[in-house]
Structure 1
Amino acid sequence: MNNIYAKLAGTNIRNNRQLYLPYILSGIMTVAMFYLMLFINNNPGIDKIHGAANLKMIMALGVGVIAIFSYIFIFYTNSFISKRRKKEIGIYNILGMEKRHIAKVLALETVFVAVITILGGLAAGIVFSKLVLMLLYRILGFDETVMFFITGSGIRATLIVFGILYVLTLIYNLMQITFAKPIELLRGGNVGEKEPKTKWLMAIAGATCIATAYYIAITTENPIKVLTLFFVAVLLVIAGTYFLFTAGSIAVLKMLRNNKNFYYNKKHFTAVSGMLYRMKQNAAGLASICVLSTMVLVMVSTTVSMFAGVKDELAARYPQEITLYSTYDNVFEGKDDVTDIVKQTIADQGRTIENECSYRYLLLMLKQNDTSFEAAPQDSWNSDLAMINIITRDDLIAMDDRFTENDISQPQSGTVSVYGSKAYDADTITILGKEFQVGESRVFMADKDMYASLGFNDDYYVVVDSLDTLKDIFALANTDNRITLYRGVSGYDIDGTTAEKAACADAVNEAIQAANEEAGLNKEEDTEIVAGANGLTSRYMESRAGNEKEFYSLYGGLFFLGVFLGIMFLMVTVMIIFYKQISEGYDDKQRYEIMEKVGMSNEEVKTSIQSQIRMVFFLPIVTAAIHVAAAFPMISRLLMLLNLTNTRLFVICLIITILIFTLIYYVVFKLTSRSYYKIVGNQVR
């Protein structure tokens, strides 16, 4: 008896291969991608890469995203297949098969599909694992032999995750059979829908969600706030898209129907009426296509632009090859006592200093109230504060080599010059209660200090007339037991290869650590750090060459993950389009046959079909493009946190991504439309 059930299950899968084949192939690809992510994350060779921790974190994120979307995707396609097969199952029930017998057949079908999908996906993942790892090494510039490796823990995790997934799909299918009446099964997917009511409340809610998300994306300027509000905007866009496609599309279609010139046209009549009565079930599919298309465009364009601009990002984060940072608890004149040690160490390593700079400034984080910048409680410091850098003219010129002595005038006594990320238009500025006349003001962002200022709303460089004025402000800042530090920066560009520069930086770092030990910076007495010479409280260095491989590991990993997940989301989009075309084909077949019987010509039917397909084609992709355009300001600011300040590069990558995706989307739509035409049959002869 069990053999009969097995044969029947196998026959059902073969007879419904048009539905099951894409389902199984996409499932195999999903399982393979999940295993590959686990393979990369568990591969022992990854530990040899600089920045392995960042890379593993990225791959772990990829594992989670693929698992979540696998459940959503498999459930979506399974529910579609279950709906299309209700009539077939209803016939089994009418012919005498009890529901428990049908349940056995469905269980065996699920087992067959699960075994083929999971084992096929694992086999594909194992076969292509070495190739994928070689590709990742190539992206990261990591020269290492790739050994063939099978991760047992990855196989176990894959079996568990997808085993549970297919058990859940079986439970869902059995529930559909258990609670359905035979007559409902026989009617299957042909159950008609009443004309949907216009849900104005939902449409307004959708428009509000989209408008709020767009407002957040366009008006939020501070990168730290962008980071926290980005996911809020994403959730609002997703919710708004589903609401608008569900309710707004019905309202639009009714408006088109009320337009007599448009509606009573052979090209539009059947398309509009058919879409209107099916929009409740079609809206979710269209919204899913739109959301997934937006995700593909954003993910691929951002990760590609970050990887393409990695050298710019490295230079923005590390403006010079070797940078020494020091902080002091007082304002003093003269040079840092360690600069000679740094220069001597560089010379001992056989390197030549090609460019150097040295400057100091007082760093304050203050709350702005019109023209007054006031102290804020230390526990309230956040991104709403403005960064105020009190600096002398000579130090500002030394900070930025774009300036010469002729570019910046010396402020008169009692006046200051204000250079900032925004224009400062007021005639006066008050800092910690001390008022100054503003002699000169201009927009300016320091290249060498860009990274430090990214987390603040505004960034101002206030050029004072003398070091004495700077000392006065320093004294004001240190009242009420507040700790304010005077910051010194020394930067050096050196010659040599990346490896030579990194070795030199390591030697400099060792020399600095030794100097710190001698100055007592690493010792503690009574829980307070002992200050060194000139009130030195801390000192450390950063190296561009020393961090280059970690940068490539981070951005290369993000690029790999972006393309990897982009492929997955594209695959999900393709499957949704395919099953949507099949669903509409079955729904439209009988309707178009009736239209031909009442006098509609074959050419008119074909024109109506093309009109409907164009509507369905353009709506999700155009909406996705609008979403991306609205999100552009927020994404640009978010990329600044990742050191990508080259907006032009991001624009180019985004345009290219949109063009390529639109081309792929068009090709997929044309190919899946053939399935629609085959189902509709004579109407497209």
Structure 2
Amino acid sequence: MSSLYMRMAAQNIKNYRRSYVPYMFTGVLTAAVYYILHSLANNPGLGETASTMMGLGVAVVAVFSVIFLFYTNSFLMKQRKKEFGLYNVLGMNKGHIARVIGLETLFTALAILAGGIGLGMLLDKLMYLLVARLIGCELRLGFYISVGSIVQTLSLFGAISLVIYLSNIVRVWRAKPIELLQGSNAGEREPKTKAVMAILGAACLAGGYAMSILSAQEAVLAIYTFFIAVILVIIGTYLLFTAGSIAVLKLLRKNKSYYYKTQHFISVSGMLYRMKQNAVGLANICILSTMVLVIISSTCSLWFGSAELIESRYPGDVMLYLDGAEPPAGFKDFLADELQSVPGGDYTAYTFGEENALLEEGGSLSVLEDMAGVAPTSMRNLRETAVLPLAEYNRITGCAATLADDEALVFLNSSAFTGSTAELYGKTYKAVQPEKTFRVCGAIAANIFDSAVMVVPDYDAYLARAEASYRERGILAGRTAFCISLGTLDDDAQAAFYESFFDHFHSWINEEHIMEVSYMLESRVLDAQETYALYGSFLFMGVSLGLLFTMAAVLILYYKQISEGFDDKNRFSIMRKVGLSHGEVKRAIHAQILTVFFLPLVAAGIHIVFAFPIVNCILHALLLRQVMTFIVCTVVTFLVFSVFYAIVYALTAKVYYRIVSE
């Protein structure tokens, strides 16, 4: 008897290979991605930053695998209901059916696990080399098999298969034979128009779009509101696809000049009667497509913009910031001695004041002497401000600007200053647009808030006015930045110089007994390694998750076409028998599939347009200030995805037409 069940299970998989083969193929890819990410997360050669990012990816893929495999399993079960009902009628009890389903689940689980782990082990080394190249870490040769990753993959996907099997058994056990026989034909009643649901969906969508636009001016606010906006857009998408699509189709049906044409009549009526069950699938495809576009475009933007980011963040190979308008006595001699052994080593220095300022409504920039009086609602308008002497500005930019005593050059680090005045410790200056702007002081440029720069003609008078406030805060007036250039030293030599310089500088402070000096020391090479590790991991994660989500959208589209093909087979057969020509059938099928297929893509494109401001603001907080880079990456990603989407359309349309023509 057991051999009979095994033959039945194998034969069922063969008979339903149109459904099972794509299911197992995507399951293999999902398991392979999970194994690779888990292996990379536990690979000590990638460093702590990359391992942490890969660990987050493992959690995302695990959640995705549960949702995705359960969702696609529902398509398989829908097509099998009539078969299970027939088994029941012919004398097999539900226990026998449970055995057949159990063996089918076992076979598919073994195929997914063997294929996924095998493919994962095969590609693991290649992915390690790719990530190592992206983040710039040292390559380690040799083949590596992660036993822990194998165990985790077996545990996760084995547990998912077990729970899927139990849910299928419960579903079959609770259904009556007549319900199973008619299960594939359920949902053919005309859905009712739900105006309230459509209005609520439009309101949620409008709310999400509005939050994206309104919060795009402030990075902290954008980060907090992003997830709320995403939830609103997801809810709005589901509601509009469910209720709004039905309302639109009924409006088209009322348009007699449009509806009473063979092509439109068949496509509109066909979509209308099944839109209730199609809407969720279309909304899923739309959400997955939007996720793919956002993830890939943003991670590519971070990666391609990382070089310029590092250039602006670190003006020198080594950056040293010392509190005080003048460095300690003897420091410049110490620095010159340190650079004697460095070919081409040199440094530039400039003095600036570091202040907190409030960008007030109406356009004035006011330096704050006391942060205690700032209202919580005004925190988003804070600007960390660098105050520079006019001579320093001219030296850095090569300009020959002149200012009156009551004038100041004012600009923001990433945009123009549109205000008219700036107040600095009781003195009001008329704001003047500078001839050139620059990102002064990498430490200030790294602030999540948009920083500001004020260039004043009376810098010494400003320090005198600020001195009392500085004494109360226990810091020295002004700050000196040293941008140290290490000439022709390679990355390893620069890192070695930084470590040596740090130790020597600390020892020199102790020897000179100037323990009160406050300083900050940064290395472009070492910090760039962390930046590339972070953004390289982001890029790898983005592409990996983007491919998974794309695969999920493709599989949902494929199953949707198969399911609808079997549902429409009898309907088109009847239409051909009553006189509908072969060409008319093909045109009607083309119109219906075209509408259903590209509706999610169009909606995803609209989502991307409205999501652009808030995502760009979040990237701004991650120090990506090149908006054009994000625009180009978004447009290219959408075009590539659209081409791929069109190819999938062409392939699945053939499958649908083949089914209804059988």
Normalised TM-score (structure 2): 0.92
Q: Quick one: which amino acid aligns to residue 590 of structure 1? A: N
Aligned partner of 1:49 in structure 2 is: none
Q: Quick one: which amino acid aligns to residue 390 of structure 1? A: V
Aligned partner of 2:23 in structure 1 is: 23
Which of residues 453, 458, 469 is equivalent to 1:466? 458
Q: 1:585 to 1:336 in 2, by over 3 A?
A: farther
Q: Quick one: which amino acid aligns to residue 343 of structure 2? A: G
Query: Could you say what secondary structure the match of 1:348 adopts?
Result: coil
CA contact (8 A) 1:325 1:541 kept: yes
Q: 1:514 to 1:177 in 2, by over 3 A?
A: same
Q: Quick one: which amino acid aligns to residue 637 of structure 1? A: C
CA contact (8 A) 2:296 2:637 kept: yes
Q: 1:369 to 1:668 in 2, by over 3 A?
A: closer
Q: 1:620 to 1:517 in 2, by over 3 A?
A: farther
Alignment partners' CA distance in 2, 1:341 and 1:162? 62
Which moved further from structure 2: 363-372 or 649-658? 363-372
Alignment partners' CA distance in 2, 1:423 and 1:461? 11
Structure 1 residue 458, shift from structure 2 partner: 5.2
Q: 1:453 to 1:201 in 2, by over 3 A?
A: farther
Structure-to-structure mapping, 1:260-279, within 5 angstroms:
260-279=256-275
- Is 1:342 matched up with 2:324? no
Aligned-residue Cα RMSD (Å) equals 2.6
Q: Quick one: which amino acid aligns to residue 560 of structure 1? A: F
Q: 1:130 to 1:210 in 2, by over 3 A?
A: same
- Is 1:157 matched up with 2:152? yes
Q: 1:544 to 1:87 in 2, by over 3 A?
A: same
Structure-to-structure mapping, 1:136-147, within 5 angstroms:
136-147=131-142
- Is 1:641 matched up with 2:624? no
Query: Could you say what secondary structure the match of 1:360 adopts?
Result: strand
Structure 1 residue 643, shift from structure 2 partner: 2.8
Which moved further from structure 2: 28-37 or 498-507? 498-507
Alignment partners' CA distance in 1, 2:537 and 2:299? 9
CA contact (8 A) 1:420 1:444 kept: no
- Is 1:391 matched up with 2:388? yes
Which digits, 9 at most, give the CA deviation of each residue in 1:530-571, with x for residues without a partner?
Answer: 62xxxx3x1121121233333322222222222122211111
Q: Quick one: which amino acid aligns to residue 460 of structure 1? A: A
Which of residues 595, 610, 634 is equivalent to 1:630? 610
Alignment partners' CA distance in 1, 2:111 and 2:126? 23
Q: 1:602 to 1:140 in 2, by over 3 A?
A: same
- Is 1:489 matched up with 2:469? no
Structure-to-structure mapping, 1:273-312, within 5 angstroms:
273-312=269-308
Structure 1 residue 323, shift from structure 2 partner: 1.1
Q: 1:681 to 1:618 in 2, by over 3 A?
A: same
Structure 1 residue 441, shift from structure 2 partner: 4.1
Which of residues 556, 561, 568 is equivalent to 1:581? 561
Aligned partner of 1:525 in structure 2 is: none
Q: 1:67 to 1:79 in 2, by over 3 A?
A: same
Aligned partner of 2:240 in structure 1 is: 244
Q: 1:463 to 1:141 in 2, by over 3 A?
A: closer
Which moved further from structure 2: 479-488 or 198-207? 479-488
Which of residues 659, 668, 671 is equivalent to 2:639? 659
Aligned partner of 1:621 in structure 2 is: 601
Aligned partner of 1:38 in structure 2 is: 38
Query: Could you say what secondary structure the match of 1:377 adopts?
Result: helix
Q: Quick one: which amino acid aligns to residue 345 of structure 2? A: T
Q: 1:395 to 1:195 in 2, by over 3 A?
A: same
Identity level (%): 37
Which of residues 157, 170, 183 is equivalent to 1:188? 183
- Is 1:83 matched up with 2:75? no
Alignment partners' CA distance in 2, 1:213 and 1:145? 46
CA contact (8 A) 2:444 2:451 kept: no
Q: 1:261 to 1:115 in 2, by over 3 A?
A: same
Q: 1:676 to 1:372 in 2, by over 3 A?
A: closer
Which moved further from structure 2: 293-302 or 228-237? 228-237
Q: 1:72 to 1:451 in 2, by over 3 A?
A: farther
Q: 1:483 to 1:141 in 2, by over 3 A?
A: closer
CA contact (8 A) 2:208 2:233 kept: yes
CA contact (8 A) 1:327 1:539 kept: yes
Query: Could you say what secondary structure the match of 2:261 adopts?
Result: coil
CA contact (8 A) 2:34 2:61 kept: yes
Q: Quick one: which amino acid aligns to residue 576 of structure 2? A: E
CA contact (8 A) 1:199 1:247 kept: yes
Gaps of 5+ in 1: 47-51, 522-529
Q: Quick one: which amino acid aligns to residue 341 of structure 2? A: D
Alignment partners' CA distance in 1, 2:283 and 2:106? 31
Query: Could you say what secondary structure the match of 2:262 adopts?
Result: coil
Which of residues 189, 193, 196 is equivalent to 1:201? 196
Structure-to-structure mapping, 1:95-244, within 5 angstroms:
95-219=90-214, 220-244=216-240
Query: Could you say what secondary structure the match of 1:207 adopts?
Result: helix
Structure 1 residue 243, shift from structure 2 partner: 1.7
CA contact (8 A) 1:454 1:640 kept: no
Alignment partners' CA distance in 1, 2:654 and 2:398? 64
CA contact (8 A) 2:187 2:277 kept: no
CA contact (8 A) 2:322 2:519 kept: yes
Aligned partner of 2:504 in structure 1 is: 511
Structure 1 residue 237, shift from structure 2 partner: 2.1
CA contact (8 A) 1:418 1:438 kept: no
The total of aligned residue pairs comes to: 654
Alignment partners' CA distance in 1, 2:87 and 2:541? 46
- Is 1:546 matched up with 2:560? no
Alignment partners' CA distance in 2, 1:660 and 1:386? 39
CA contact (8 A) 2:318 2:523 kept: yes
Query: Could you say what secondary structure the match of 1:550 adopts?
Result: helix
Aligned partner of 1:524 in structure 2 is: none
Structure 1 residue 245, shift from structure 2 partner: 1.1
Query: Could you say what secondary structure the match of 2:340 adopts?
Result: helix
Alignment partners' CA distance in 1, 2:607 and 2:547? 20
Which digits, 9 at most, give the CA deviation of each residue in 1:103-141, with x for residues without a partner?
Answer: 222122212211221122112212222222223233334
Structure 1 residue 426, shift from structure 2 partner: 5.6
Which digits, 9 at most, give the CA deviation of each residue in 1:646-684, with x for residues without a partner?
Answer: 2223322222222221111111121122221121015xx
CA contact (8 A) 1:362 1:474 kept: no
Query: Could you say what secondary structure the match of 1:3 adopts?
Result: helix
Query: Could you say what secondary structure the match of 2:371 adopts?
Result: coil
Q: 1:569 to 1:451 in 2, by over 3 A?
A: farther
